[in-house]
Amino acid sequence: MLLLASVARAVTVRRLFEPSELVFESPGVAQFAMQFGLVRGESAYRVSAPLFAFDLGLTPNVELDLDGEFAYGGPDDGEFVFNQTAPDNLWTSVKVGLFDFADEHSAWTSGIKVGPKAPLARGNQGAGLEGLVLLGWRNPQVQLVLNLGGLIDPAAEAHTPRPAAVEGGVELNYPLDATARWTLTGELSGKR
């Protein structure tokens, strides 16, 4: 009988970055948003079930946010089966508005969003940190928000470097009716 021993290594999972909007909930008002969808990663398929965001207004320009994802994923060989759960780290952050200059035609706004990341992803250890600087511009027809920041994720396994990244994105909101009840949203983002 021949026994072979090998070292098992955690596979780094590259999470997607979704830009934040620069809108604040009124004090005492909460909003819960979910997104569902199929994602093809570098080595496996994943069904996001769901990607979620919970926002709670604390003051007119301070908000508590929780962002996370629970997903079902496939094996690293790319086979189209879903046999693994893939929770993401939970980002608990505070969003703070810094300034808001407006006239009758347009407005410029700015804020920051920063907070710790709880190690909920499989095998992750220790807390992480993520932070964004948000710059927004709006007029009656459109709203654009630029996101720039970075993160240090929880470690994938003990005694390994923590994944770190710079990230950025743009979110576009286009009202489809005069009351802005229906809005078309587009996002473009990336991280390195």
Judge whether 141 lies within some domain: yes
Q: Which residues pair with 171 in a beta bridge?
A: 145, 187
Does 110 fall in a domain? yes
Instruction: Name the pTM for this structure.
Output: 0.79
- The full DSSP string for 119-148 is --STT-BS-EEEEEEEEEEE-SS-EEEEEE
Residue 19 lies in a domain: no
Tokens encoding 175: 């009202």
Convert the pLDDT of each residue in 133-182 to its tens digit.
Answer: 999 999 988 999 999 999 999 988 878 888 899 999 999 999 898 887 88
pLDDT value at position 3? 39
End-to-end CA distance of the chain: 46
Residue 12 lies in a domain: no
How many distinct structural domains can be found in the chain? 1
In a domain? residue 18: no
Does residue 5 sit within a domain? no
In 3-state terms, what secondary structure has residue 44?
A: coil
- Residue 75 structural domain: 30-191
**At which residue do the structure tokens 């007029």 appear?**
139
Answer yes or no: is 8 within a domain: no
